Structure 1
Amino acid sequence: MRPVAGRLLIVVAALWCGIGHASAPEQSLVPIARPSDTVDLAAVSSRTAAPISITNMRPVLRPVSPQIAAVAARPSDLPLFSPDTSLMPNARPEALEQQILFKKRKLRKGSVCGDIAIQGKAVGRVTSKTKACGVKDAVQITSVSGVTLSRASTMDCGTAIALNEWVDKSVKPTFKRRGPVVQLQVAAHYACRTRNNRKGARISEHGKGRAIDISGFVMADGEVVTVLNGWRKNPSQKQLKKVWRGACGPFGTVLGPNSDRYHRDHFHLDTARYRSGAYCR
């Protein structure tokens, strides 16, 4: 048994040595350290299909388009923060500045009711033989919000302020594309009379300086939009109804062609106030 065991050990040892010699690597498995200073480009290029250079490893800049080059060449187009470009706005010409100041001074001088947009003059107390008529502190209005009145109209400041608000917020925006509107046609203002001039009726708000009647609107090109002709015809119908609705709020009473036969050709606007709110018809 001992000789057989010895021979087996010799055979196993021989096989082990053969396997070890057959699988041994030709090169060391330890990685080679990188050079510390330069890369041998010749050695690298010899192992690659295409040569590698420093120039083709960098990104290539896009060519400048002719349009950009043309804009950059113009001396007037300086960079935003160029030292040759001032960030301060150009000063107004002195003549223009004086003209603006003169216009504002003139408007302020001709304004009433504490609003530069309301132009006219103060006329003081307006008296009448009829006790119910008259205005305590009357003004005579010639324009509101830059829109003139066809005739100077007497009223109190409350009515003037309501008229200015209506023109500014309703009349001018409504006729902006068609106009602009430059004038209001005044059918009536202060007058000591009864409502609708009927005998025995109550004194109208016109007799208290709290009403004005508007019959039409004049555009900058001379076109006239009248309540009588435009109320039931497009496109004036839509615009007239819009300004009629716009008056309901600044004014306490707004009457138009749909109210009665007395107002078929104008809007009656007055500043009388009611507990139930504005009366618009």
Structure 2
Amino acid sequence: MLCAALALAACGNRAERPDLGETGAMSLLNRTLGREAAAPEGGGLCGDPMLVGEVAGPVDGRGACGIDSAVRLRAVGDVQLSQAALIDCTTAKALKTWLDTGAKPAIGTRGGGISRLRVAAHYACRTRNHQKGAKLSEHGRGRAIDISLIRLVDGTSISVLEGWNTKRDGPALRKMHAAACGPFGTVLGPESDRFHKDHFHFDTARHRGGSYCR
């Protein structure tokens, strides 16, 4: 059966069947053998098989707003986003790093792990905190994403607003916040200012003194 599957993945007239490459051939082989593919269906954004969504291309915006090469990120592996996030690849990769090294370890096996992130904001041509006269937000460049709630596999919700100061959810949320420093250049949370009481703001702007985390 294995030989037959390999033959199926390799055979075919090249004029009719495009060269799948190593990744495509292995995906076809896995499907043929009835095994789950290593990467989620639709994955492969930004050169990472675990980033799921579509290429959006250039996004034009007013003034300095816009994204040179945007993607619509819908999921990171098996963690779904509540809405497709229009961001650049650097930000998409940073979100994956944060999930893998910060958010998932902070949750551990609780509730079966993380299943979904509520995206409070992504690309928008606006000033920081929507304040008149303020500098352009990194959201206006596709370099930022805001997360307000983490949903677990068992249906449990961990809200930044409601859980930050609780014994049950506070420790995990604080670990997530701290772990974002590094993957992201700016990390803001409930103790940063009145504008971030209900969500984490993550962006990939870089600062001379390192990550800015509050």
Interval containing the TM-score (normalised by the shorter chain): 0.7 to 0.9
CA contact (8 A) 1:145 1:167 kept: no
Identity among equivalent pairs (%): 49
**Which residue does the alignment assign to 2:68?**
136
Structure 1 unaligned blocks of 5 or more: 1-93
1:168-190 deviations in Å (ceiling 9; x for gaps) = 11111211221311000110000
Equivalent of residue 143 in structure 2, options 210, 233, 246:
210
How many Å separate the matches in 2 of 1:217 and 1:106?
Answer: 20
Establish whether residue 174 from structure 1 lines up as the match of residue 118 from structure 2. Answer: no
Instruction: List aligned pairs for 1:38-49, cutoff 5 A.
Output: none
Structure 2 unaligned blocks of 5 or more: 1-28
TM-score (norm 2): 0.82
**Which residue does the alignment assign to 2:211?**
278
How many Å separate the matches in 2 of 1:212 and 1:95?
Answer: 34
Larger Rg over CA atoms: 1
Instruction: List aligned pairs for 1:111-260, cutoff 5 A.
Output: 111-128=44-61, 130-179=62-111, 180-260=113-193
Instruction: List aligned pairs for 1:13-52, cutoff 5 A.
Output: none
How many Å separate the matches in 2 of 1:96 and 1:125?
Answer: 34
How many Å separate the matches in 2 of 1:190 and 1:95?
Answer: 36
How many Å separate the matches in 2 of 1:188 and 1:159?
Answer: 13
CA contact (8 A) 2:40 2:52 kept: no
**Which residue does the alignment assign to 2:34?**
99
How many Å separate the matches in 1 of 2:43 and 2:176?
Answer: 27
How many Å separate the matches in 2 of 1:187 and 1:224?
Answer: 15
How many residue pairs get aligned? The number is 185
How many Å separate the matches in 2 of 1:279 and 1:99?
Answer: 47
What is the RMSD computed on CA atoms of the aligned residues? 1.7
1:50-74 deviations in Å (ceiling 9; x for gaps) = xxxxxxxxxxxxxxxxxxxxxxxxx
How many Å separate the matches in 2 of 1:271 and 1:95?
Answer: 36
CA contact (8 A) 1:135 1:209 kept: yes
CA contact (8 A) 2:40 2:77 kept: no
Q: List, as ranges, runs of 4+ consecutive aligned residues in structure 1 with deviation greater than 6 Å.
A: 94-97
CA contact (8 A) 1:257 1:267 kept: yes
CA contact (8 A) 1:145 1:168 kept: no
For residue 106 of structure 1, report the CA deviation from its aligned partner: 5.9
Judging by fraction of residues, say which structure has more strand: 2
1:240-265 deviations in Å (ceiling 9; x for gaps) = 00000000010000000000000000
How many Å separate the matches in 2 of 1:137 and 1:237?
Answer: 36
Q: 1:239 to 1:95 in 2, by over 3 A?
A: closer
Give the aligned residue type for 1:140.
R
